[in-house]
Amino acid sequence: MRFGFNFWLGATLTALVIFAGILAPWIAPFDPVFNADLMNSELPPDATFWFGTDAQGRDVLTRTLYGAQISLTVGIVSQLINSLIGVTLGMTGGYWGGWWDDLVSGLTNVMLAIPSLIFALAVLAVLGPGLPSLLIALGLTNWSWTCRVARSSTLSLKSQGYVQAAKILGYGDMRIMFTQILPNMMGPILVMATLGMGSAVLSEAALSFIGLGIQPPSPSWGSMLTDARQLIQLAPWIAVFPGLAIFLTVLGFNLLGDGLRDSLDPHMRTRKP
């Protein structure tokens, strides 16, 4: 399989963000929370504080590096939950059909009508803010497209010769689903999951920005921007770096997803003249 430029650019960006998150404790020059020093507050970028300092005098570079940990955790974990729900429901619905399929399809249609971010807001209203609630809120609310894709793939794979052969050989339903159907629809599912991680990172940032996600003083990019908003006139650099970090992370996931789709599905490949 050949990968295009999009894929490699996306892979590079994503890898950089992952390394930033993993290596933050070693490469970050300061402590993300406890090096507050009001004598150093709101310093513009200089040789010591490359990205400047925030209102409490904390190093913005350090907090931006640590922010990658939170964003990636939320993005990856919540999307894994979504994929698991979507694939399980979609595959069993498509394979078994009948009342179960009607139920799954009906539920998917309802979930499609409730925007993921709004649904997540509702869940957070019940659970309160914080990392675990955020993982649940974003993990339970964005599986409808994956479910649709899994269901329609299953429907078309079900009639393939090798699935029929497996049935004749007496394989159980579960065995057929996991060994014959699932591997053959991994491509589109992986694409959906990669794109979903990008959107989960965006949702986390947005929810933390309005104060319902990750709570300060944890260095989440969204909540860093909440503080930056108050000081935008005095210290605009506080707003620049966390925003760029979100942008590049999501761009990485999106390019990676688009690139994967282009390579997996030649029909979707951008047509060249």
Partner 1 sequence: MFIFTIRRVLQTIPTVIVAALIIFVIFSVVPGTFATSLLADGKRAADPQLIARLNEELGLNKPLVERFATYITNLAHFNLGTSFRTRQPVINLITDRIWASFILASAAMMFALIVALPLGFIAALRPGSIVDTATMIGAVSGLSVPEFWLGLVLMYIFALQLNWLPSFGYGDGSFQNLILPAITLGVAPMALLARTTRAGVLDVLHSDFIRTAHAKGMSDVKVMRWHVARNALVLIITTVGLQFGSLVGQAVIIEKLFAWPGIGSLLVDSVAIRDIPVVQGTILVIVLWFLAINTAVDLIYAAIDPRIKQG
Question: Which of 109, 160, 179, 230 touches partner 1 (CB under 8 A)?
Answer: 109
Cα distances (Å, whole numbers) of residue 111 to 13, 137, 148, 261: 31, 13, 11, 24
| Site stretch for partner 1 (CB under 8 A), options 156-164, 166-174, 175-183, 230-238 | 230-238
Give the shortest CB-98-to-partner 1 separation in angstroms.
18
SS (H, E, C) the chain: CCCCHHHHHHHHHHHHHHHHHHHHHHHCCCCCCCCCCHHHCCCCCCCCCCCCECCCCCEHHHHHHHHHHHHHHHHHHHHHHHHHHHHHHHHHHHHHCHHHHHHHHHHHHHHHHCCHHHHHHHHHHHHCCCHHHHHHHHHCCCCHHHHHHHHHHHHHHHCCHHHHHHHHCCCCHHHHHHHHHHHHHHHHHHHHHHHHHHHHHHHHHHHHHCCCCCCCCCCCHHHHHHHHHHCCCCCCHHHHHHHHHHHHHHHHHHHHHHHHHHHHCHHHCCCCC
- Looking at the Cβ atoms of 2 and 271, the one nearer to partner 1 is 271
Asked if residue 70 binds partner 1 (CB under 8 A), the reply is no
Total interface residues for partner 1 by CB under 8 A? 45
CB-nearer residue toward partner 1: 1 or 126:
126
Is residue 136 part of the contact set for partner 1 (CB under 8 A)?
Answer: no
Q: Which stretch binds partner 1 (CB under 8 A): 39-47, 55-63, 117-125, 170-178?
A: 117-125
Query: Whose CA is closest to 143, among 178, 119, 171?
Result: 119
Q: Contact between 174 and partner 1 (CB under 8 A)? A: no
For partner 1, the binding residue among 28, 147, 202, 235 (CB under 8 A) is 202
What gap in Å lies between CA 19 and CA 120, rounded to an integer? 28
Nearer to partner 1, 2 or 272 (CB): 272
- List 44, 247, 265, 269, residue binding partner 1 (CB under 8 A): 247
Whichever of 11 and 121 has its CB closer to partner 1, that residue is 121
Q: Which is nearer to partner 1, 121 or 182 (CB)?
A: 121
81 binding partner 1? (CB under 8 A) = no
Interface with partner 1 includes 115 (CB under 8 A)? yes
Is 23 near partner 1 (CB under 8 A)?
A: no
Residues that bind partner 1 (CB under 8 A): 106-107, 109-110, 113-115, 117-119, 121-127, 198, 202, 205-206, 209-212, 225, 228-229, 232-233, 236, 239, 242-243, 246-247, 250-251, 254-255, 258, 270-273
